[in-house]
Chain A
Amino acid sequence: MDDAPPVLVHQAITHDSAIRHVTGAAPYIDDLPEPAGTLHLALGLAPVARGRITTLDLEKVRNTPGVVAVFTSKDVPGRNDVSPSLGDEPMLAGDEISFHSQPVFVVAATTRRAARIAARLGAIEVEQEWASVSIADALSTGETVLPDYAFRRGHPEPAIDGAARRLAGEIEIGGQEHFYLEGQIALAVPGEGEAMFVHSSTQHPSEVQHIVARVLGLADHQVTIECRRMGGGFGGKESQASHWAALAAFAARLTGKPCKLRLDRDEDFALTGKRHDFLSRYRVGYDERGLIEGITFEHLARCGYSADLSLGVVDRTMFHSDNAYYLPHVEIGSKRLKTNTVSNTAFRGFGGPQGVLAIEQVIDAIAHERGLDPLDVRKANFYRDGSSVTPYGMEVFDRATLLPLVEALEASSDYRARRIAIAEHNARSPILKRGLALTPVKFGISFTLKHLNQAGALVHVYSDGSVMLNHGGTEMGQGLYTKVAQIVADEFGLPLERVAITATRTDKVPNTGPTAASSGSDLNGMAAREAARTIRLRMAEEAARRLDVAVSAIRFEDGLVHGGDETMTFAELARFCVLERVSLSATGYYRTPGITWDRAEKTGRPFFYFAYGAACSEVVIDTMTGEMKLLAVDILHDCGASLNPALDIGQIEGGFVQGLGWLTTEELVFDNEGRLRTHAPSTYKIPVASDVPAHFHVELWDEPNREDAIYRSKAVGEPPVMLAISAFMAIADAIHALAPGNPVQLRAPATPEAILDAIDRQRAK
């Protein structure tokens, strides 16, 4: 029973729900028929960012037509905590208010509109306290959500001081709202006895299960979470979907009715965490050719009011502060600042993009100061033989991939010729300036929290030969279900239609990690293959017995099973197996090998492998107004041996454009009172179609993963976000043209105003 070459894997197969998407027939939670008697929930929100509640008068709320019940923190049967880690996130605020719009009470009403109207009628009186809102505020209070953390190699300070050239600076990096198109939602349906069933739009059903159980004071086995699909997640539904599921389950328990909570978009903005914003300080010493000799980073991350996932997020910033570059003497430090704002959370890249942006800005500064092409400085600093160990002590085993990849893109994008053409253009054009940049990405694949690197799957073959597939991964648009189905169908030699994809449920596969860290298909693909292989082997044994050949002679192909000269259909074999009492159901389990990171000791290998990519972007800016347009993008990205090139290219393009938004138009503005002023798409601007250039060219770098990942593919969800840094550096390059030789100081996001500010600073030099 040899492994046949894959038929479906590596093919550009359409997303399993594509036809349902385009016909409106793919149900999201709000589209499911509501069980009879369903109540709708809305939240009463804190009117200030910090203070103590003195009185809470909910009389008017209760008296609003349609209202069935109103609950506060006092009604919580179990523990009033929805945090993923430290127990520091009340589901409903008790006396203390920690951020603006924090939920204080929940209203259940017969219609959503009635609930929303009533929720605004609560009289919440608060003894207001000064709110710490910005990074500067947090630095002044010194409050953090977690202890500071750093790693270090060699002697960075003396190395910097002794270097021929030195630079120091501060880099401002904005946050980002996820803006998944489907907002946060949960529908809880009370079951028999204590049981609670929750439809949750979540990347992490197991954690939602545990938190719902915690809030209700139940054992985990009483709670079942289901998620068939999300209308986007991007990290925003990794730890932060639990809150809404817990509230829905809480109200459902207390009213005995099914309860649905769907946040309005403005609430979703105000109540859910974002990508962390950073202030990163650096000092760097380097030689005349721009080779880095010593560097220190201090990353100041705004975490919001609670820890949430900030431990791992900021660790990943630190892990990626080298990006692709060897840093001989280095210290990377971090502070996880506490503010009275929403708790910042996972967002595609999980802190990595901020680290990469920081080091890329340093490289640019070095190149500008030296009068070198930034690409040359980049290449000179790449990891290479003899200089191949990261600041955290991991050998970059797969370092040979990056230089040829970057050089291939350099050639295919015609980088050098365009450089010259742009210089000529800029010399002629006083108002409009163009800029060009080619930047690399190296991204570590694996959860840095070791126990998350495991997955389970459940596969059944029914007696008609049809297959049911279930695993712990969730579908948020990335095509995970499709990829895993391709893998399983190939194991059985079946066409894709014979494999039914089913919703992720905690009662089918337990104790799963989140679908995050780009690891969805690496982990679940392996687990599902394992389950399918267990069944296939049992079936092959039965076939071998029946056809009187060796098990090794059995082949599964095209829906048929071959052995010697004989053939039967897969369905026939399944039927025989049932008659012969062969189990056709199996679980599969996988854990990533070789991961040894020890955070306390600051040693080990956090990543199974690295994924690589590079992008070349060209922009034009208007130096009078700061307006900017992206003109062309070329991308070369490493997905290993791609499981599905169509889906992978989709991740690359989508990731790039999402990163582009983060770095250009998406600006989060909090006022001094801690209220988010950009709380809806009217004021918070994610990219639209016309922001994407006509020349947007993506190619896959065709090189199998050297590690034994599923079919030698590589994870692709997050790395492409960082390709957009090329667009940001291209803007900086255009600004640089105004006063060559001086490092550009451009804050992210590069809004027209930020660009104009950077232009002013550049001209003043």
Chain B
Amino acid sequence: MRRSIRFIFRGMPREISAFDPSITLLEWLRLEASATGTKEGCNEGDCGACTVVLAKTDGDRIRYFPVNACILLLGQIDGAELLTIEDLAKDGTLHPVQAAMVRHHGSQCGFCTPGIVMSLFAAFHEAPRPPDREAIGTALAGNLCRCTGYRPIFDAAFDVLSDLPEDRFSESNASRLEALRALEDDRGIVIGNEDRFFASPRHLDELAEMIARHPDATILAGSTDVGLWVTKKLAPLKRVIALGRVAALATVVEGSDSVFLGAGVTLAKALPVLERIDPDLGTLMRRFGSAQVRASGTVGGNIANGSPIGDLAPALIALGATLHLRIGKESRILPLEDFFVAYGKQDRAPGEFVTGITVPRPEAETHFRCFKISKRMDEDISSVMGAFRISIENGAVSGARIAFGGMAATPRRALRTEEALVGAMLANPHDWMGAVQALEADYQPISDMRASARYRARVARALLGKALTEIAGSSRATRIVARTPIGEVRHG
């Protein structure tokens, strides 16, 4: 067991052996390390002013992940190289990203700028060449700028992403890779005592045992929810068990009939895998949070949090996914929809945790569609999220799985609607009406700041209609952002 976390900071290994389990990376940077270049704009993962980059090994590569330092806990950066705005320029020479931002007048008040530079720095190393506008928009979705209107930032991004990704970081790739490898070990980490600790086990069994022993500890995956408990509710996390170092939870198995995603698989890593199941899932995932949220947030966290407005659950329920849970040495599998019992209540025993999810691929003659409706296209929580898996035989619906988020206290199937749809002729929209009306029996949505109950109900009906119109093969444009044709996979 290791009693410290280790990471690379300012080019040197850094080891910290005592810290409060709930200290955020941003607090550490600004208050402990006096590194004030990284800003706090919202303290909840939405504005990107606090964006820093974690460089991590991936085989013989280094990958660059933009993350929100405000909601990431310090303990989570073990094993990474932490890069902040202060690291980019060297000896008075700006990094190409910084130089492009200056050249294109990309800053006004400058408060968002360090975060934007860091997001573009990550994109500089990760984004496809030549740059495409949509990919830049996706890379920047987690960085709010209130001054510029973004045009000069796009221009700076285009400019710098047209160059090869060569900078002093790529030049020192080998030595930095070595430094990162030197941090790797097979030990679990525990900082603190039984009463108050930050633990980061290395192996699944060790994790299972620890969670079972501390059923009241906070299970921490990407911290994109948990971080807000700390920064907004001011909840002191006394005992934290982090999943981030358990390699077994990060597995992805892409089979011919189904896909398995470990609970710890980040949303960023899940994106292309899900997109290969259906392009709508790619679109959904690109609109899920932001690059920063996807780099930290996990598939397991998005399900385990039980949120009625989480985006993955409805999509995966419609696809017929099953959830893998474990307590101690015992494992079980249940249909994903059964996991969500009521608002704030899931079918998860104390000491139990999610290990992964199996997602069946739609069979031939089975169509999938999903739609996310939100006030703003990018980086917004859904007011309604609808997912449809519809099987067709001889022009009629032979089977339907339909699930919605934002329509009830949990993500839930529309059982009556499904039933009413079976047998409907696809070519005859009048035949769909029974199903469209049945939605009213399935859901009694609420009004809140995202949308009114009336709107939600309206849109749910519209989405079913839209899905059926598309599956029926209408040649009319049905979406503002067209469904990506299969095979034309975009980058995330």
Q: Do A and B bind each other?
A: yes
A688→B144 contact, CB < 8 A: yes
A179 to B148 alpha-carbon distance, docked (Å): 13
Q: Which A residue sits closest to B232, measured CB to CB? A: A266
User: Contacts A232-B111, A690-B141 hold; do A685 and B376 have CB atoms under 8 A apart?
Assistant: yes
Selected contact of B85 from candidates A23, A621, A751, A756, CB within 8 Å: A23
Interface of A is mostly: loop
A689→B107 contact, CB < 8 A: no
A650→B462 contact, CB < 8 A: no
User: Closest CB-CB distance, A135 to chain B, in whole Å?
Assistant: 18
User: Closest CB-CB distance, A243 to chain B, in whole Å?
Assistant: 20
In the complex, whether B44 has a CB less than 8 A from a CB of chain A is yes
A628 to B383 alpha-carbon distance, docked (Å): 15
Contacts of B147 in A (CB 8 A): 181, 232, 477, 650, 654
A117→B466 contact, CB < 8 A: no
Selected contact of A756 from candidates B39, B376, B455, B481, CB within 8 Å: B455
Contacts of A694 in B (CB 8 A): 133
B36→A22 contact, CB < 8 A: no
In the complex, whether A124 has a CB less than 8 A from a CB of chain B is no
Chain A stretch 465-510: residues in CB contact (< 8 A) with chain B:
476-479
A691 to B143 alpha-carbon distance, docked (Å): 13
A24→B146 contact, CB < 8 A: no
In the complex, whether B114 has a CB less than 8 A from a CB of chain A is yes
Q: Mark A1-36, 1 if CB is under 8 A from B, else 0.
A: 000000000001011011111111111101101000
Chain A stretch 223-240: residues in CB contact (< 8 A) with chain B:
229-234
Q: Which B residue sits closest to A432, measured CB to CB? A: B477
B42→A681 contact, CB < 8 A: yes
B85→A24 contact, CB < 8 A: yes
In the complex, whether A627 has a CB less than 8 A from a CB of chain B is yes
User: Closest CB-CB distance, B154 to chain A, in whole Å?
Assistant: 7
Contacts of A687 in B (CB 8 A): 149-150, 376
Q: Mark B353-377, 1 if CB is under 8 A from A, else 0.
A: 0000000000000000001011111
In the complex, whether A120 has a CB less than 8 A from a CB of chain B is yes
User: Closest CB-CB distance, B157 to chain A, in whole Å?
Assistant: 9
User: Closest CB-CB distance, B231 to chain A, in whole Å?
Assistant: 8
Q: Which B residue sits closest to A119, measured CB to CB? A: B234
A683→B154 contact, CB < 8 A: no
Q: Which B residue sits closest to A268, measured CB to CB? A: B42
User: Contacts A17-B110, A477-B110 hold; do A179 and B146 have CB atoms under 8 A apart?
Assistant: yes
Chain A stretch 733-765: residues in CB contact (< 8 A) with chain B:
751-753, 756
A478 to B450 alpha-carbon distance, docked (Å): 32
A22→B117 contact, CB < 8 A: yes
Q: Mark B366-403, 1 if CB is under 8 A from A, else 0.
A: 00000101111111110100000000000000000000
Chain A stretch 663-680: residues in CB contact (< 8 A) with chain B:
665, 667, 669, 677-678, 680
User: Contacts A656-B149, A688-B379 hold; do A21 and B113 have CB atoms under 8 A apart?
Assistant: yes
Q: Which B residue sits closest to A671, measured CB to CB? A: B449
Contacts of A178 in B (CB 8 A): 146
Contacts of B462 in A (CB 8 A): 624-625
Which of these binds chain A: B86-94, B274-282, B316-324, B331-339? B86-94
Q: Which A residue sits closest to B235, measured CB to CB? A: A117
A626 to B137 alpha-carbon distance, docked (Å): 22
Contacts of B30 in A (CB 8 A): 30
Contacts of B138 in A (CB 8 A): 690
In the complex, whether A646 has a CB less than 8 A from a CB of chain B is yes
In the complex, whether B109 has a CB less than 8 A from a CB of chain A is yes
A27→B36 contact, CB < 8 A: yes
A178 to B98 alpha-carbon distance, docked (Å): 27
In the complex, whether A622 has a CB less than 8 A from a CB of chain B is yes
User: Contacts A629-B481, A688-B379 hold; do A477 and B476 have CB atoms under 8 A apart?
Assistant: no
User: Contacts A689-B136, A753-B455 hold; do A265 and B149 have CB atoms under 8 A apart?
Assistant: no
Q: Mark A687-721, 1 if CB is under 8 A from B, else 0.
A: 11111101010100000000000000000000000
A655 to B151 alpha-carbon distance, docked (Å): 12
Contacts of A756 in B (CB 8 A): 455, 458-459
A16 to B9 alpha-carbon distance, docked (Å): 30
In the complex, whether A264 has a CB less than 8 A from a CB of chain B is yes
Contacts of A753 in B (CB 8 A): 383, 451-452, 455
Chain A stretch 647-663: residues in CB contact (< 8 A) with chain B:
647, 649-650, 653-658
A593 to B105 alpha-carbon distance, docked (Å): 33
In the complex, whether B102 has a CB less than 8 A from a CB of chain A is yes
B375→A689 contact, CB < 8 A: no
In the complex, whether A431 has a CB less than 8 A from a CB of chain B is yes
Q: Indicate the member of B39, B133, B371 with the most A CB atoms within 10 Å.
A: B39
B449→A181 contact, CB < 8 A: no
A14 to B107 alpha-carbon distance, docked (Å): 10
Contacts of A691 in B (CB 8 A): 376-378
Contacts of A30 in B (CB 8 A): 30, 36, 40
Contacts of B134 in A (CB 8 A): 690
In the complex, whether A620 has a CB less than 8 A from a CB of chain B is yes
Q: Indicate the member of A31, A476, A678 with the most B CB atoms within 10 Å.
A: A31
Selected contact of B47 from candidates A113, A626, A649, A681, CB within 8 Å: A681
B44→A234 contact, CB < 8 A: no
Selected contact of B41 from candidates A15, A17, A265, A626, CB within 8 Å: A265
In the complex, whether A183 has a CB less than 8 A from a CB of chain B is yes
B94→A23 contact, CB < 8 A: yes
A680 to B89 alpha-carbon distance, docked (Å): 33
In the complex, whether B220 has a CB less than 8 A from a CB of chain A is no
Q: Which B residue sits closest to A677, measured CB to CB? A: B449
User: Contacts A181-B109, A624-B465 hold; do A650 and B148 have CB atoms under 8 A apart?
Assistant: yes
A179→B144 contact, CB < 8 A: yes
Selected contact of A230 from candidates B109, B145, B476, B479, CB within 8 Å: B109
Contacts of B376 in A (CB 8 A): 665, 685, 687-688, 691
In the complex, whether A430 has a CB less than 8 A from a CB of chain B is yes
A647 to B134 alpha-carbon distance, docked (Å): 26
Contacts of A430 in B (CB 8 A): 476
In the complex, whether B478 has a CB less than 8 A from a CB of chain A is yes
Contacts of A462 in B (CB 8 A): none
B448→A677 contact, CB < 8 A: yes
Selected contact of A14 from candidates B97, B102, B151, B377, CB within 8 Å: B102
B146→A28 contact, CB < 8 A: no
Q: Mark B6-49, 1 if CB is under 8 A from A, else 0.
A: 00000000000000000000010010001011111111101101
Q: Mark A28-57, 1 if CB is under 8 A from B, else 0.
A: 101101000000000000000000000000
User: Contacts A22-B102, A686-B144, A694-B133 hold; do A477 and B232 have CB atoms under 8 A apart?
Assistant: no
Q: Indicate the member of A23, A264, A654 with the most B CB atoms within 10 Å.
A: A23
In the complex, whether A172 has a CB less than 8 A from a CB of chain B is no
In the complex, whether A116 has a CB less than 8 A from a CB of chain B is yes
Q: Indicate the member of B37, B107, B152, B232 with the most A CB atoms within 10 Å.
A: B107
In the complex, whether B108 has a CB less than 8 A from a CB of chain A is yes
Return the 7 tightest CB-CB contacts between A and B, nearest first: A24-B37, A477-B109, A231-B111, A21-B110, A24-B85, A477-B108, A657-B149
Chain A residues with a Cβ under 8 A of chain B: 12, 14-15, 17-28, 30-31, 33, 113, 116-117, 120, 178-183, 229-234, 264-266, 429-432, 476-479, 620-622, 624-629, 646-647, 649-650, 653-658, 665, 667, 669, 677-678, 680-683, 685-692, 694, 696, 698, 751-753, 756
In the complex, 19 of the A-B residue pairs with CB atoms within 8 angstroms, ordered by the A residue number, are: A15-B105, A22-B107, A24-B85, A26-B110, A231-B110, A432-B478, A650-B108, A653-B149, A665-B376, A680-B232, A688-B376, A688-B377, A689-B150, A751-B375, A752-B374, A752-B459, A753-B451, A753-B455, A756-B459
Chain B residues with a Cβ under 8 A of chain A: 27, 30, 34, 36-44, 46-47, 49, 84-86, 88-89, 94, 97-98, 101-102, 105-114, 117, 133-134, 136-138, 140-141, 143-154, 232, 234, 371, 373-381, 383, 448-452, 455, 458-459, 462-463, 465-466, 469, 476-481
Beyond the given pairs A478-B108, A683-B381, A688-B144, 20 more chain A to chain B contacts, judged by CB atoms under 8 angstroms and listed by A's residue number, are A15-B105, A19-B94, A20-B110, A22-B94, A181-B146, A231-B110, A232-B109, A232-B147, A265-B44, A477-B107, A624-B465, A625-B371, A625-B459, A627-B373, A650-B108, A654-B148, A665-B375, A690-B138, A752-B383, A752-B459
